[in-house]
Structure 1
């Protein structure tokens, strides 16, 4: 029995779906971060709870690491402080990171979604 090989068209449709899903996800994340920072500026008091987290990466190529670092830094309230390539690691400052583990989880979610867009689809072995 011959294994099913996806057609180039079906792979393009899957990739397009991943890209659209990622753009929707990042747009929501970006707008939410803008709203949180704007609220912080406009209201009295302070809800700032800064933290710096070490984020070991699954990203391996320079493109993956740089793209992730840029997306994190573009998001208001977050900043990549250092990038290490061996082993791949980011040090990220979060302005609203009262729970550093939860903050790290959101960063890992961003990386997972980005890798889903940048890496080719896994093919199952027959």
Structure 2
């Protein structure tokens, strides 16, 4: 839904969707194989979620020596880009709606949605602290 509005009228929606789905599947499969290979090779526990990314993997990268530092740097840079691109794709429908409904410029719509998302994110983070409750 997010990117279908960017396809030209003469573009093939089905072909584009299949290519994206296939590439996503292949990338996730390869990434999973690499990550779990590292985990089982270095005897770490395959914990789920944030424990895997921010506890188990850094310990594995530290055990790998200098090459582990390079792999860790590349992994976390890729993780940052994954987060940014996911945020863009989540905010794009709201941006498009603001542009179509209220005739905002793309820059104004982006600034508004990013500001609201940032503010809500700060409130959510603060709600997890003892001093805020």
Shorter-chain TM-score: what band?
0.3 to 0.5
Between 1 and 2, higher relative CO (CA 8 Å, sep ≥ 6) is seen in: 1
| TM norm structure 1 | 0.40
Q: Whose radius of gyration is greater, 1 or 2?
A: 2
Q: Which has the higher strand share?
A: 1
| TM norm structure 2 | 0.38
